[in-house]
Every structure is written in C-alpha cells, then in structure tokens.
Amino acid sequence: MYFSFETIPTFVWVFIATYAIYWIKKPRLGKNEPPMVPYKIPIIGHTADYLFNAEKFLAECRQKYGDPFSIYVFGQVNTVAGNEIVHEVYDSENFNLLSATRDVFPLYRVLKSVLDPRTTEQLVKTIREGITSKLPQYTGRMQKQLMISINKEIGDCSSPKLIKTANDNFASMISRPVADVLVGQEIAKNEDVVKAFADFTKDFISIIAIPPILSFIHPKVHAQVITLPLRFGFNPISKHVLTLKKHLKPVLEKRLKDKKILGDEYKPPLDIIEYILNNPEYKTKVITDDYLNKICEFIFIIIVASINTTSRHITCALYDFAGRPELWDDIYEEQAIIDKECNGVLLPQHINKMVKLDSFLRESLRTFDAVAAFPHRSLESHTFKNGMTIPKGRIVQTYLMDVHYNTTAYGPEPKSFLPYHGLENNFSASKTDKNYFIFGSGKHICPGRFFAVNEIKIGMHKLILNYHIKTPSGKIEKKVIYGPLAEPPITGLIFENRKK
C-alpha cells in the first residue's frame, strides 16, 4: 500500500473527528432514567446487536434489566418498553408515532400536510365515519374487487402455479378494494390508478431505503441526505399523484354539477371522495388545481397507512395457512359452509360467521415476529408510574415480542401458533388487548383495523375456496428479518384449483 506523508494528517483528522463525535454523542442520562444497558464500543453502542441479533439481545436485556430499559443504537438512546410499561406510552398524549418516524420515513417531504396534527384528526374521523361505520355497505363491492384481482393475478391454476410474492406482497390485490372505497367505483376501474395506489409506498421507500448510518452523527443528517434526490427534483412519487389527479378531476367536476342540477334528488355515491366533498372544510364550487392537490394528498396519506400494512399481513396469513396442512380442512370447511349459505355473495353477517378464519388471522398477526416496532417519541419529558423518567425527544420502541409472547396470556409456549386461541377466548382479530398490539392501543389505535381485517378475511375466504395453497417446501416458510423488523417470506406460494 502506498503511504505518503499527506495521508498522516488525514488519519489525524479522522481520529479527531471520531473523538469529537464520540464526545458530542456520548449519551448523557438524567436522573431516574430506565437502566441503560452497558456497551463496549463507543458510538456504535448496541447497534450491531440490534441489527443482527435483536430477538436474543432484547430478551437478555429484558431479563437482566427489567422493563423498561434503554439501549444505544445509531447514535441515539432508545428506551425499549415491554409488556409492563408500554400501555402507558400508548395511553398518553405525550407520545407520538409520526414524530418518531419522520427522520427515517420522511413522508412529509412529499405529502406536506402529514405533520399537521389536524391532518391526523381529519384522517381518523374520515376513516371512522366514512369507512368503518359503512363497512357493511362496502362488503359487496370489496368482494367484487378482490375477485377481479384474484382472477387477474392468480387466475386458472389447473396445474399448480408458483405465485411470486416478493415483489409486492399482493399490494395490487389490496389496492383494488381500497381504490373502490376511497375514490369510488368509477375511478377504481382504472388500472393506472390501481397501480399508482399499489406502487406509491414501494416507490417512496425505494428512494429512502438507506440504512441510517449518518444518524450516528445526527438523525437530522440522515433525514437531509435521504431526501436529497427529492429536493433535486427526482421524485418517482409525483407521477402517481398526477395519475390520480387526472382521473379525479372529471369525476369531482361531474359530481359538483350533478349536485347543482339535481339538488335534493342527487344520490350521493358511497366513497371517501364524496365524504370529503361534503366536509365543510373541503366545500368548494370549482375544482381548482390546489383543491385537487389537497384531496390527492389526503388520499395518498390513507394509501400509505393502508396498503403496505394490509398487503403485508394478508401475505403473512397466506404463508401461515399454506405452511400448516393440519388446518386446511377445518378452515376450508368453514368457508365452504358460508359460501353455500350465501350462494357466493357475502353479506356482512357471513363475514361475522368466519370465526375460525378470524381467529386464525389474529394468530397470524400476533406471531408476526417483529421484535420491536412502532417507535414513539416523547413530546415532553415523561415520568412513568414506576417513577422512571425519560427526557423530551426520547424514542420509545414497542417491544412487540414481549407483549405478544406473554406466557400468562398465551400459555407456556407463547411462540407457537395457536389458531383457535381467539375463538376460544372471544378475541377477534381487530380487537386490541393488553397482549395484542398489532394495531397499537389507546388514543391512537389504528382506525383502519376493521377495514383491514375485513379485506383480509374476504380475500382469504375467496382464495381458500378456490385454491389449494401450499408452500414450495411443504413446510412453514421463514419470515425475512430486518433488524428488529419482520417482512413476509419470499419463497412464493403454490396455488392449485380446488375441484368443486
């Protein structure tokens, strides 16, 4: 290796810079903080353990230090809240999910209103009043849309067909019913819009998928760097917004016109854009470009919250089903009886009868295998009931495995798959309780959970009725683990027509 005298000052500078970062970043803990897990390497702290060995690492910490404890990852102190303490985080207005994720998932760069707390309020209200309370009326439309997707994407499997899931985890299957509910039956027919919905989150993630190495210096530095392409005008998201705008405009204009002409005779279509048009805050006489932008932004925030999550979990549930032959007959039988009863057209009461499927889904959601997720940031310093205090700005991770793999609630083998636990205990898939946190809890509990669970149940019902579903290995396929997070397996699933 060629070594010159000029390289020596470089080494010195690197050394000084590292040392400076070390001093600046050295975690300083206040009084009565949760115990800090000791670490050996400065700056790096527990980052490696957290990235490559999260399950074992956190389990050991939990055992040694109790609940909660703090660790040092990517240059920040994170407090890890388990089963005993995490409820306090979710029940308090002092903790915020969006604020905790804005540096690694800077959605506000493309959808500016997302950081406005009033937007969240509007979203939750819209989802509750416009989707959840209308779910029974959407049942027919959702199953039609899901059948279109199933026929298109899986289709005839008279001989076994391997369907790859790795690309989008059935996001396009989910985006059709979502489009139908959000932007109405007419626009949902448009393949470009369905594709824009399916791809939006994926394309957004593709620009920001850089490990937060620069967070060692400061999370804001990471946020600045990953959003550079956006700020230089490279924005793969904007084409999706344009697609929606183009198709939304004539429909909104027609509705305004019809309303004016028909007056009380106007029959409002059931969908979210109609809900928005009738919202006093969104009242308008003309559809201006600004107005369209505002609505599109709102719709895409719902898309980000709904499609990636729902498609991830229908995919996991299908893998969970495919890998467990011992459950096939029992769950198929329930679907076949319901199908016969409703003659192939599900009504809301039939969805309520899918109790085994619901219980199975709950178990799939519980055993999702994310170790820690849903970070929340404290907006003010906070003292827990046990007297421990954390400062303002602290990230608190939800130790999901500690919540979900609790022996009191799920018996001596809490990690095993208990398909009928929900059924036997009268817990439905959308019902949060202290040992089931997949939809969060407390004040900010996911308002879309009933919609998501309905979609997944209708989708699985139809898939199980139409196909035998197997894994390529014939066994349970492993999830893909990213640090403390989990994603569905990527082996693909084998579909084969069921003979009727």
Ligand X SMILES: *[C@@H]1O[C@H](CO)[C@@H](O)[C@H](O)[C@H]1NC(C)=O
Binding site, annotated residues: 446
Nearer to ligand HEM, 221 or 445 (CB): 445
Residue 158, interface with ligand X (CB under 6 A)? no
Residue 407, interface with ligand X (CB under 6 A)? yes
**Token representation of residue 156:** 């005839």
Residue 123, interface with ligand HEM (CB under 6 A)? yes
Residue 351, interface with ligand X (CB under 6 A)? no
Residue 440, interface with ligand HEM (CB under 6 A)? yes
What span, in angstroms and rounded, lies between the C-alpha atoms of 207 and 25?
28
Question: CB 312 → ligand HEM: shortest distance, Å?
Answer: 7
> x/- contact string, 282-321, with ligand X (CB under 6 A)?
--------------------------x--xx---------
State the CB neighbour count (10 A cutoff) for residue 349.
Answer: 12
Nearer to ligand HEM, 219 or 459 (CB): 459
**Token representation of residue 489:** 């397996």
What span, in angstroms and rounded, lies between the C-alpha atoms of 55 and 49?
9
Residue 479, interface with ligand HEM (CB under 6 A)? no
Question: CB 190 → ligand X: shortest distance, Å?
Answer: 20
Report the DSSP pairing between strands 382-383 and 389-390.
Answer: antiparallel
Question: CB 310 → ligand HEM: shortest distance, Å?
Answer: 5
**Token representation of residue 286:** 């003309």
Side chain identity at 92, as an amino acid letter?
A: S
Q: Measuring CA to CA, which residue among 362, 492, 232 is closest to residue 354?
A: 362
Residues tagged in the binding site annotation for heme: 446
Among 49, 168, 334, 363, binds ligand X (CB under 6 A): 168
Report the DSSP pairing between strands 395-398 and 480-482.
Answer: unpaired
Among 240, 313, 350, 394, binds ligand HEM (CB under 6 A): 313
Residue 448, interface with ligand HEM (CB under 6 A)? yes
From the list 178-186, 379-387, 393-401, 430-438, the region that binds ligand X by CB under 6 A is 430-438
- Residue 433 gets which letter from DSSP? B
487 binds, among ligand X, ligand HEM, none (CB under 5 to 8 A by kind): ligand X
Side chain identity at 165, as an amino acid letter?
A: T
Say how far residue 365 (Cα) sits from the centre of its chain: 12
Residue 353, interface with ligand X (CB under 6 A)? no
Instruction: Enumerate residues 6+ apart whose C-beta is below 8 A from 437.
Output: 86, 90, 374, 398, 400, 403, 404
Residue 452, interface with ligand HEM (CB under 6 A)? yes
Instruction: Enumerate residues 6+ apart whose C-beta is below 8 A from 477.
Output: 319, 322, 323, 471, 489, 491
Residue 434, interface with ligand X (CB under 6 A)? yes
Residue 441, interface with ligand X (CB under 6 A)? no
What span, in angstroms and rounded, lies between the C-alpha atoms of 151 and 189?
15
**Token representation of residue 102:** 């804005």
Sheet with 95-96, edge to edge strand ranges:
69-73, 76-81, 395-398, 373-378, 95-96
Contact present, 237 and 204 (Cβ < 8 Å):
yes
Positions touching ligand X (CB under 6 A) are 83, 168-169, 171, 201-202, 205, 308, 311-312, 406-409, 426, 431, 434-435, 487
Positions touching ligand HEM (CB under 6 A) are 90, 97, 120, 123-124, 127, 131, 302, 305-306, 309-310, 313, 374, 438-442, 444-448, 451-452
